[in-house]
């Protein structure tokens, strides 16, 4: 089936700057893709590279879109950079999406602010029903943060758990001290304790401590996932579907290896998030809390997905209207 292809580049300020290892991130840039099939069906995709993850630039995506022209077969595989291919595949899949998915619900992890503010922030989120919390560490003084971990742990009821995300901030000595104390705290995993590129250190930490280690920045694109799988990585894979060219293939390999997978937002708009969440709902492995408790995220709410709640249902995902974001991106 032949489709008409169109794209729109966007530049969207976040409601508040996002803290990253490379400094504050104020504006999300990416490209929305639209396919219109002969039968009138419309498919949507979003190419949303994360600066610093090293996939491609938005200029490269725009160039790939321009060279595609205005017509495209609905099942053709197109070469190009990672996020661009992801977006195109998502739009093609969208054309075949079935409406009758089970109305299952998946838990969502609540984001806590870094530092002391986490203590006050956790209370209303617990009351709302969240049981998994993500807390950024490696931001302030280590001693203060370790004391805060105890205070935070004391507030959690039975069964609630923390995900600590260090964003690669630690060296070996710091990572080891943290993992020692995490062993008897309610910590589900420690995410990216050492920077991308420190594979031996990450493998050593995973072998030496009981708290699982999760890879995030170490996974940028399909090649990284394949490499860590081949090396028998025993920890968690934080999968940002937006940063994978062939999501279905990568997830099939992760599933075959019975890997622990946490689906996570790349701070894309609702268009890309809808496609990413479709993968999360199709995942057959044990469900883990989704890393999609990010909305409201943008200064212009028309680009947001559903506001963070303790559970997300497939109906909530299907209710996301990519056309509204497309029109707003005009």
**Residues that bind Mg ion in the complex, under the rule CB under 5 A:** 165, 191, 216
Query: CB-wise, 216 or 224, nearer to Mg ion?
Result: 216
Residue 139 burial (CB < 10 Å; 0-12/13-18/19+)? middle
Closer residue to Mg ion (CB): 221 or 322: 221
Which CB atom, from 239 or from 245, has the smaller least distance to Mg ion? 239
CB contact at 8 A, 218 and 228:
yes
Shortest CA distance to 82 belongs to which of 262, 209, 219? 219
CB of 217 to Mg ion, least distance (A): 7
In whole angstroms, the minimum distance from the beta carbon of 99 to Mg ion comes to 33
By beta-carbon distance, which residue lies closest to Mg ion?
216
User: Looking at 41, 101, 136, 155, which residue is catalytic?
Assistant: 136
Options 77, 101, 155, 240, the catalytic residue: 240
> Secondary structure of 58-101 in the HEC alphabet?
HHHHHHHHHHHCCEEECCCCCCCCHHHHHHHHHHHHHCCCCCCC
The β-bridge partners of 187 are: 162
Choose between 216 and 268: whose C-beta lies nearer to Mg ion. Answer: 216
Determine whether 136 is an active site residue.
Answer: yes
Q: Could you tell me the smallest distance in angstroms from the CB atom of residue 238 to Mg ion?
A: 6
Residue 94 CA to residue 42 CA, distance in Å, equals: 8
- Is there a contact between 43 and 34 (Cβ–Cβ < 8 Å)? yes
Residues 233 and 239: their CA atoms lie apart, in Å, by: 14
Residues identified as active-site: 136, 240
């Amino acid at each position: 089936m032949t489709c008409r292809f169109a794209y729109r580049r966007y530049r969207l300020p976040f409601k508040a700057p996002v803290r990253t290892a490379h400094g504050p991130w104020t504006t999300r840039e990416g490209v929305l893709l639209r396919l219109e099939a002969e039968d009138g069906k419309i498919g949507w995709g979003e190419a949303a590279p994360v600066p610093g993850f090293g996939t491609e630039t938005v200029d490269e995506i725009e160039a790939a879109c321009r060279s595609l022209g205005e017509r495209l077969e609905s099942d053709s595989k197109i070469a190009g950079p990672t996020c661009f291919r992801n977006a195109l595949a998502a739009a093609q899949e969208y054309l075949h999406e079935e409406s009758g998915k089970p109305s299952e619900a998946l838990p969502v992890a609540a984001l806590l602010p870094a530092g002391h503010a986490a203590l006050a922030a956790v209370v209303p989120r617990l009351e709302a029903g969240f049981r998994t919390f993500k807390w950024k560490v490696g931001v302030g003084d280590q001693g203060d943060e370790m004391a805060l971990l105890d205070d935070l742990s004391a507030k959690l009821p039975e069964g609630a758990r923390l995900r600590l995300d260090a964003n690669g901030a630690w060296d070996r000595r710091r990572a080891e001290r943290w993992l020692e104390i995490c062993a008897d705290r309610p910590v589900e995993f420690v995410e990216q304790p050492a920077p991308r590129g420190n594979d031996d250190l990450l493998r050593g930490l995973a072998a030496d401590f009981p708290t699982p280690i999760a890879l995030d920045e170490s996974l940028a694109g399909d090649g990284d996932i394949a490499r860590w799988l081949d090396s028998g990585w025993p920890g968690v894979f934080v999968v940002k579907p937006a940063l994978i060219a062939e999501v279905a293939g990568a997830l099939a390999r992760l599933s075959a290896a019975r890997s622990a997978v946490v689906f996570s937002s790349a701070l894309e708009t609702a268009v890309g998030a809808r496609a990413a969440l479709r993968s999360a709902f199709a995942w057959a492995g044990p469900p883990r809390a989704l890393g999609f408790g990010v909305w409201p995220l943008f200064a212009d709410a028309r680009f947001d997905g559903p506001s963070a709640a303790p559970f997300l249902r497939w109906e909530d995902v299907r209710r996301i209207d990519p056309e509204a974001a497309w029109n707003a991106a005009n």
